[in-house]
Structure 1
Amino acid sequence: MNISEEENKNPNPNTKDEEDGELEEWEIAGEGDDTASSSLKKGVVEQPQPLEHSWTFWFDDPRAKSKKATWGSSRLPIYTFSTTEQFWSLYNNIDHPSKLAVGADFHCFKYKIEPKWEDPVCANGGKWTVIFKKGKSDMAWLYTLLALIGEEFEYSDEICGAVVSVRGKQERIALWTKNAANETAQMSIGKQWKELLDYNNTIGFIFHDDSKKKLNRGAKNRYTV
């Protein structure tokens, strides 16, 4: 990940110390200078655009994984963002899926929802999955993120988050939802997502309960679109 350790200590990327002298994106450049007098007279100040929900990026570093480590111990929160400006500031400064190491998992989940089956919000849910050839999921990942934070799904309250998983020959994007048994909601989400990505292949929905029983291998799709 192209984020310095110093930046990682600050959960709000747009928060700066007053003394560092740097302007926020919504501040007027050159405020107090004569050269900015015309802008000041107009009184035009761009305000941050808040999102309906705050979201957290999580990263599961393959270098930190080992057979002896506790499952999920290598998955750590990176940043939480709550405005459109914060999202783009982060997105433009992190590696996209095609640049991630094999074995990496990069998550974007609603704030306070952890990307794991055991999370109370996720426990009774499931996931839709789309598959791409290695290095071909970057745009689909961006479109998915924009749909999430923009609340574009009809059943957006059902959404927990999404994860892109980079493997040897392919990249998978999974969309996690809350109530797997709500077939109407899940089918709506699957159809909207497939349409949004202009994805031609059939996609399937797996219940987390089935994944746990099968140890995430061989679980069958309950719904398909």
Structure 2
Amino acid sequence: MNNKFDALKDDDSGDHDQDQGSPKNCEKEKNEDEDKEQNNAKKKMVVPGPGEHPLQYNYTFWYSRRTPGRPASTQSYEQNIKQIGGFASVEQFWRFYSHMIRPGDLTGHSDFHLFKEGIKPMWEDDANKMGGKWIIRLRKGLASRCWENLILAMLGEQFMVGEEICGAVVSVRFQEDIISIWNKTASDQATSGRIRDTLRRVLNLPPNTIMEYKTHTDSIKAWVDFHGLVTASGGR
């Protein structure tokens, strides 16, 4: 476990020119609108606060829940997934995490997703579409501890695979729980092997634990074949 996380666990517009007429003024207004949009985008970006410990990447928590057996399409899945919030520092992470329900206390068909800022937890996202995920199926009672160990290892850059990691998911189901970690390049076997070995270590998995790697392309195909849908999205 990364010590810096353990130590901090308890911490708790300007008006536009109204003169219209000349092309010059129109161009000026256009530039001002563009600047305003860029400034608004910058305001939305999460940054570490004064004296906080910045993470290497910004991240976003997401949550989704749906009724089992109800057909899902790309559109319905994307509408169902809710953004909880983003963070850029260790302190900001703990502010979210300390108030979130633990996976073991969730009910029904629920998922928590933790992905790098700008990456949606969907198979079709540009950062994910050529990648895949390592999947571990857990008996009930283990999800909360494994999820915490996994995301702390991810935020602490313990996987040592550069920018390959996209995010992680914990899926609560009726008979079992599932955790997975997503990476960008399914064809890079050396990198996926390093992720597997690190995952086994940080979760302290028994040697006989079954770990499955599945490409997102295969996930989409399986979903379409099973449900007869034209398109599908990740995390179902």
TM (norm. structure 1) is 0.73
Unaligned runs of 5+ in 1: 1-10, 16-23, 27-46, 219-225
- Structure 2 residue 55 is the aligned partner of structure 1 residue 51: yes
Instruction: Work out which of the residue numbers 88, 104, 118 in structure 2 matches 1:112.
Output: 118
Q: In the alignment, what sits opposite 1:167?
A: 173
Which of 157, 164, 173 in structure 1 is aligned with 2:163? 157
**Equivalent-residue separation in structure 1 for 2:146 and 2:117 (angstroms):** 22
Alignment of 1:198 onto 2:204: yes
Larger of the two Rg values belongs to structure: 2
CA contact (8 A) 1:14 1:86 kept: no
- Let me know the Cα RMSD of the aligned residues: 2.6
The residue that corresponds to 1:21 in the other structure is: none
3-state SS of paired residue (1:157): coil
- Of 68, 88, 96 in structure 1, the residue corresponding to residue 102 of structure 2 is 96
Q: Identical aligned pairs, as a percentage? A: 31
Q: Which amino acid aligns with 1:52?
A: Q
Contact 2:116 2:167 in 1 (8 A): yes
Cα gap change, 1:194 to 1:66, in 2 (>3 Å): same
Match of 1:199, SS state, is coil
Compute the displacement of 1:157 (Å).
1.3
User: Could you say which structure has the higher helix fraction?
Assistant: 2
Q: CA offset at residue 154 of structure 1?
A: 1.7
> In the alignment, which residue of structure 2 is the partner of 1:42?
none
Q: SS in structure 1 opposite 2:118?
A: coil
Deviation readout 1:120-160 (Å, 9 max, x if unpaired):
00000000011111232111100111111111112041100
Map of 1:211 onto structure 2: 219
Paired residue total: 179
- Residue 160 (structure 2) pairs with residue 137 (structure 1): no
SS of residue matched to 2:91: helix
Aligned to 1:62: 66
TM-score by length of 2: 0.69
Q: Tell me if structure 1 keeps the 8 A contact 2:46–2:88.
A: no
Paired residue for 2:128, among 122, 130, 133?
Answer: 122
Q: Tell me, yes or no, if the aligned pair for 2:68 and 2:109 is still in contact at 8 Å.
A: no
Amino acid at match of 2:93: F
Which consecutive residues of structure 2, in runs of 5 or more, have no partner in the other structure? 1-43, 227-236
- Spell out, residue by residue over 1:14-70, the C-alpha distance to the aligned partner (whole angstroms, 9 max, x if none): 99xxxxxxxx9x7xxxxxxxxxxxxxxxxxxxx210111010000002369954772
Q: Does 1:86 align with 2:92?
A: yes
1:214, CA displacement in angstroms? 1.1
What SS is found at the alignment partner of 2:223? coil
Stretches of 4+ moved more than 6 A in 1?
Answer: 11-15
Map of 2:79 onto structure 1 = 73
Cα contact 1:13–1:86 (8 A) shared by 2: no
Change (3 A) 1:65 1:83: farther
CA contact (8 A) 1:106 1:164 kept: yes
Contact 1:59 1:107 in 2 (8 A): yes
Secondary structure at 2:150 match in 1 = helix
